[in-house]
Structures are given as C-alpha cells and as structure tokens.
Amino acid sequence: MKIYEVTSNKSDYMDILLIGDEDESMVSKYIEQSEIFILYDNDMLISICAVEKINSETVEIKNIATYPEYQNKGYASKLLDFICNKYKTKYKKLILGTGENEKTLNFYKKRGFTETHIIKNFFTDNYSHPIIENGKLLTDMIYLKKDL
C-alpha cells in the first residue's frame, strides 16, 4: 500500500472524488487549492483525500472517498491516519463536514472526531440535485473536528 500526493492534473481524479461528493461543481470549488492524496494497493487506485488549509491552526478534509468495491476494508482508515500524521506537526485541528449518515458519522467518531456544529439545509441549498445516502435524503451538514 502506498500513498502519493497529486500535484498536477487533479481533475484526472474526478471520478473517485465524485464518490465522496456527488456534485462536480462543488468539487471544482476546492480541488485546485486542496492538497490531494491518493492511496494505491497493488498498483490499483483505491482511495483519495482532498485537504484544504483553513488557517494557521486548521486543515479541513473536503473529500475522502474509496471505490465501492474496496470500501469497509480499512483503506479510508489508513488514508485518514496518514492525513492526521502528516498535518499534526503544523496544525492543531482537523475538521470535516458530512451528511447525517450514521455509518459515516460513526466512522469518524471511532477515529477521535467529535461533532462541533451543524449547517442547516447545506445540501438542499448548495447542491443542484437531492443527495441520498443509505436511502436517506441529506439536508444538514454536520461538522466534526479532531485535535491533532
């Protein structure tokens, strides 16, 4: 398993980024200013993570995604561990926003994230189409943070 940083042609990874964020126009808003990391296993692209610097103390995961056939096998956890280790020497806090999906929220909480606030109607106000996860229409964005 290897993790690489993508420094050019970031839009070449749009297909996997759209697994984590279904709206290409939303991904386009952060992809270029984000640091992009890709996880390969046996020369196969498995997972991706986009991280944006917010200020001198905080970085935000804008997108983390794994191809469906490789989900629930620990790849996203490995990538998240890498991200935490990479940024802990320069930053104090890692934040992210996600939908009201219990499985996703539990994934982050098991890894030390805690809920901080909710942005009401984020998905309905900012996406051109309904976002449905695990059969549930997402409306609010839940923000979580982890001290690094």
Give the CATH number for residue 37: 3.40.630.30
Residue 71 structure tokens: 């989900």
Specify the pLDDT at position 86. 97
Give φ, ψ of 38 to 5 degrees.
-120, 140
Q: What is the pLDDT of residue 73?
A: 96
The pLDDT, as a whole number, for residue 136 is 84
pLDDT for position 133: 82
Q: Which residues pair with 45 in a beta bridge?
A: 40
Per DSSP, the three-state class of 138 is coil
Q: Which pLDDT score is estimated for 83?
A: 98
Which domain, by its residues, includes 60?
2-147
Per-residue pLDDT, 52: 98
Low-confidence ranges of the chain (pLDDT < 70): none
**What's the pLDDT at 140?**
94
Number of domains forming the structure of the chain: 1
What stretches of 67-110 adopt beta strand conformation (E)?
A: 93-98
The pLDDT, as a whole number, for residue 137 is: 86
Q: What is the pLDDT of residue 18?
A: 95
Q: What is the model's pLDDT at position 58?
A: 98
